[in-house]
Amino acid sequence: MTLYHVHMTLARTEEHPNGSSAHGYDIVLPLDAAMKLDPDAWKVHSKECTVRRFWQGEPDQKGLLRHIGRGWVIDYDATTPEGDEPFFKLDRHEFKAGEYLSVLEQDGEMQTFRIVTVEPLKG
């Protein structure tokens, strides 16, 4: 098991027809040999599985990757039991450049993001 840094940016939208590198997420998470999320490793390393949301014109938001119920979420506020932004079927995705992931953002909008890089965490 290795922790990876995944950088993803906003895919094409009506507002951003070419996508946007100024909007996205940086995620640290454990991946298995098939480059899929490793839930068992996450249990051991959950405190290290951080998420940074960057959005042009807004301050960065920092949170943790959490497993709640049957899904994976970004949790920006550890004092509440629920997560803030659920991923769409995160555990079924292969993490490699060019793949897409969707996040249900806090405003209720489902946004799609393109994975730009997947690199082993150094250190």
**Minimal CA–CA distance to 89: which of 98, 76, 102, 99?**
102
Contact 20, 9 (CB under 8 A): yes
pTM as predicted: 0.93
| Percent of the chain scoring above 90 in pLDDT | 75
Phi, psi of 73 (to 5 degrees): -135, 160
- 99 confidence band (pLDDT: 50, 70, 90): very high
pLDDT digits (tens, 9 = 90+) for 32-45: 999 999 999 999 99
Distances (CA, A) of 3 to 6, 11, 85: 10, 24, 21
pLDDT digits (tens, 9 = 90+) for 46-77: 999 999 999 999 999 999 999 988 889 999 98
Contact 72, 66 (CB under 8 A): yes
- Segment 92-102 mean pLDDT: 95
Contact 4, 121 (CB under 8 A): yes
